[in-house]
C-alpha cells in the first residue's frame, strides 16, 4: 500500500502537471465567448500590439478634421460590409504574432488592422489608424 504522504505527493504532482498542460503559453485576447465547456478570448494581446506598432510605427495623434462617420463604417462584433475588401497582413509581421484559432485571421482594412472571422466576416478587435 501507499503511505499517506506518498499518495498526497502523487496527487499534488498530478494536479500541477495537469494544470501546466491546460493553460496555453501564448494567447491573443479580447473577445469573450462562452459555451458550456469552452471559454474563448480573441483579440490583440499586448505582445501583438507591440509587434504591430514596432513594424508600422506607433499610431500618430490625430491632427486635423476626421470626416464624419469615418469610424462608423464598421464596428467591433458586427459583420464587415461586403464593400470592404480586407487584405492579409504582411507575412514578415504575421509570422511573429501569436497564432489565432482556426477560422480567424488578422487583416488590414484601410489604415486599420482587425481580427475577423473568415466565415461570418465578424470583426472582433480593431487597431485604428496604424498606418
pLDDT in tens, 83-111: 888 999 999 999 999 999 999 999 998 88
What per-residue confidence (pLDDT) applies to 21? 37
What per-residue confidence (pLDDT) applies to 69? 54
Position 47 pLDDT exceeds 70: yes
Cβ-in-10-Å burial (0-12, 13-18, 19+) of 77 comes to exposed
Which fold, 44-131? Nuclear Transport Factor 2; Chain: A, (3.10.450)
Measured distance CA(10)–CA(33) in Å, rounded: 35
What per-residue confidence (pLDDT) applies to 24? 37
**In the chain, domain spans:** 44-131
Task: Tell me, yes or no, if the pTM score tops 0.85.
Answer: no
Amino acid at each position: 500500500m501507499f503511505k499517506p504522504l506518498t499518495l498526497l505527493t502523487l496527487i499534488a504532482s498530478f494536479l500541477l502537471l495537469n494544470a501546466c498542460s491546460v493553460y496555453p503559453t501564448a494567447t491573443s485576447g479580447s473577445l469573450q465567448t462562452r459555451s458550456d465547456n469552452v471559454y474563448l478570448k480573441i483579440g490583440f494581446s499586448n505582445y501583438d500590439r507591440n509587434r504591430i506598432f514596432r513594424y508600422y510605427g506607433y499610431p500618430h495623434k490625430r491632427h486635423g478634421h476626421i470626416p464624419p462617420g469615418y469610424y462608423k463604417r464598421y464596428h467591433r462584433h458586427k459583420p464587415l460590409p461586403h464593400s470592404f475588401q480586407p487584405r492579409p497582413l504582411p507575412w514578415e509581421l504575421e509570422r511573429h504574432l501569436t497564432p489565432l484559432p482556426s477560422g480567424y485571421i488578422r487583416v488590414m482594412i484601410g489604415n486599420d488592422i482587425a481580427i475577423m472571422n473568415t466565415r461570418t466576416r465578424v470583426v472582433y478587435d480593431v487597431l485604428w489608424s496604424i498606418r
